[in-house]
Amino acid sequence: MSDTILQHCKHIYMYICVLMCVSIFPISVYAQKDVTPLQDSIVPPQDSVNDTIVAVPTDSSSVDARIMAIKQRMDSLNSAALIDSTAIAVDSLQVQKNATSTFNPDGMRAVWLSALFPGLGQIYNRRYWKLPIVVGGFMGLVYATSWNGRMYADYQQAYLDVMDTDPTTNSYMNFFPSYYKEEDIDKTWLKNVLKNRKDSYRHYRDYCIVGMVALYLVCILDAYVDAELYNFDMSPDLAIVVKPAIIPVTSSIEHSALGLHCAITF
Task: Give me the helix-helix angle, 131-163 and 187-228, nearest 10°.
Answer: 160
Q: Does residue 15 lie within any of the structural domains? A: no
Q: Are residues 212 and 118 in the same domain?
A: yes
E strands of the chain, at which residues? 239-248, 256-265
Q: Are residues 237 and 260 in the same domain?
A: yes
Q: Does residue 253 lie within any of the structural domains? A: yes
The total number of structural domains in the chain stands at 2
Longest dimension (CA), the chain: 212
Determine phi and psi for 257, rounding to 5 degrees. -130, 155
* 152, 198 contact by CB (below 8 A): yes
Domain that holds residue 238: 233-266
Residue 163 is predicted with a pLDDT of: 87
Q: Are residues 216 and 112 in the same domain?
A: yes
Q: Does residue 59 lie within any of the structural domains? A: no
pTM: 0.51
Q: Are residues 131 and 223 in the same domain?
A: yes
Q: Are residues 150 and 218 in the same domain?
A: yes
Q: Does residue 262 lie within any of the structural domains? A: yes
Q: Where on the phi/psi map is residue 225: left (φ > 0), alpha (ψ -120 to 50), or beta?
A: alpha
* 247, 258 contact by CB (below 8 A): yes
Q: Does residue 39 lie within any of the structural domains? A: no
Residue 110 is predicted with a pLDDT of: 93
Give the DSSP letter of residue 5.
H
H helix runs in 105-166, sequence order? 107-116, 120-124, 131-163
Q: Are residues 225 and 238 in the same domain?
A: no
Q: Are residues 125 and 195 in the same domain?
A: yes
Per-residue pLDDT of the chain (266 residues; tens, 9 = 90+): 545 665 666 667 666 666 655 555 444 444 444 444 444 444 444 444 344 444 444 455 666 677 777 777 766 666 655 555 555 655 665 555 555 457 889 999 999 999 999 999 999 999 999 999 999 999 999 999 999 999 999 999 999 888 887 877 888 888 888 888 888 888 889 889 999 999 999 999 999 999 999 999 999 999 999 999 888 766 666 677 788 877 776 665 566 677 777 777 76
Q: Are residues 185 and 141 in the same domain?
A: yes
The residue among 160, 158, 187 whose CA lies nearest residue 171 is: 158
Q: Does residue 194 lie within any of the structural domains? A: yes
Residue 83 is predicted with a pLDDT of: 58
* 247, 264 contact by CB (below 8 A): no
Q: Are residues 120 and 192 in the same domain?
A: yes
Q: Does residue 22 lie within any of the structural domains? A: no
Q: Are residues 202 and 143 in the same domain?
A: yes
* 226, 205 contact by CB (below 8 A): no
Q: Are residues 257 and 182 in the same domain?
A: no
Q: Are residues 144 and 253 in the same domain?
A: no
